[in-house]
Amino acid sequence: MIQLEEVTGLATTHLETDPSIGKPVHKATVAAFLKLREAAARDGVDIVAMSGFRGFEQQAAIWNAKWDGQRTLYDKESRPVDHASLSPPELARTILLWSALPGASRHHWGTDIDVYDGRTKPESYAVQLLPAEYEAGGYFHDLHKWLVANMGRYGFFFPYREDRGGISVEPWHISHAPVSVPALESLTVALLEQAVSRGDIHGRDTVLDMLPEIHRRYVKNICPPGPEVAME
């Protein structure tokens, strides 16, 4: 069970860094991810963790850079968006298409991991984490097909498998359901308000005004694990 500070990325007591994974993940997720990776390797797929845990401050740095126009914004089709053309609420919604609000990122829990296939990644290629890389013709399409067919047996699912009107489709983002499902249930609007109020978040007043919408549309609004996903 993840504690309240752990849910919002303000603690690291729930994490473990396995040398073979190379990224901090939840203690209860390590064994499941290793089994997932071993099974994939037997089928010629090399699952590499590009990111695991991301703390509140790291998420705030991403958010603030996008809020200030220092990082490129994208729409749902991965096309650049003009920062200057957006009102504060529009800016928040545009950031939320691809980046979670600090305190609300699933990466805070250490249960969610961004992955790519080390076998099919060209040596000099910088992984972009864009849908095209995981679609037919993309470098990581074989990985995606393998995950769809197999990851449920190890307790993993795609929380952003399809567009539900919130966060964009992320075929690289897998989640360990036995831990992430209860973590999501514990992340209430009130808890998120506490985290946002105490953090260095640019556009905080706008965010606080929008918090019920953000929680409903960008936090709770995921593709839940199906019956094929092992919950133990």
Position 116 scores a pLDDT of 98
179 touches 14 (CB < 8 A): no
Say what the pLDDT of residue 1 is: 57
Q: How many structural domains does the chain have?
A: 1
- On whether residue 232 sits in a domain, the answer given is no
Residue 38 CB neighbours (<10 A): 11
The helix, strand and coil proportions of the chain, stated in percent and rounded to the nearest 5, come to: 45, 10, 45
Whether 138 maps to a domain, the answer reads: yes
Output the pLDDT for position 195: 93
Given this model, what pLDDT does residue 145 score?
98
d(CA 149, CA 214): 32
Residues of the chain with pLDDT under 70: 1-2
Task: Tell me whether residue 227 is in a domain.
Answer: no
Q: Is 128 part of any domain?
A: yes
User: What CATH code is carried by the domain that includes residue 58?
Assistant: 3.30.1380.10
pLDDT at 24: 97
Does 228 map to a domain?
no
C-alpha distances (whole Å) from 178 to each of 24, 141, 152, 156 are 17, 26, 11, 9
* Structural domain containing residue 148: 4-219
Domain membership of residue 225 (yes or no) is no
The answer to the question of residue 56 being in a domain is yes
Residue 229 in domain:
no
**What is the pLDDT at residue 65?**
98
Closest CA to 181 of 149, 223, 214: 223
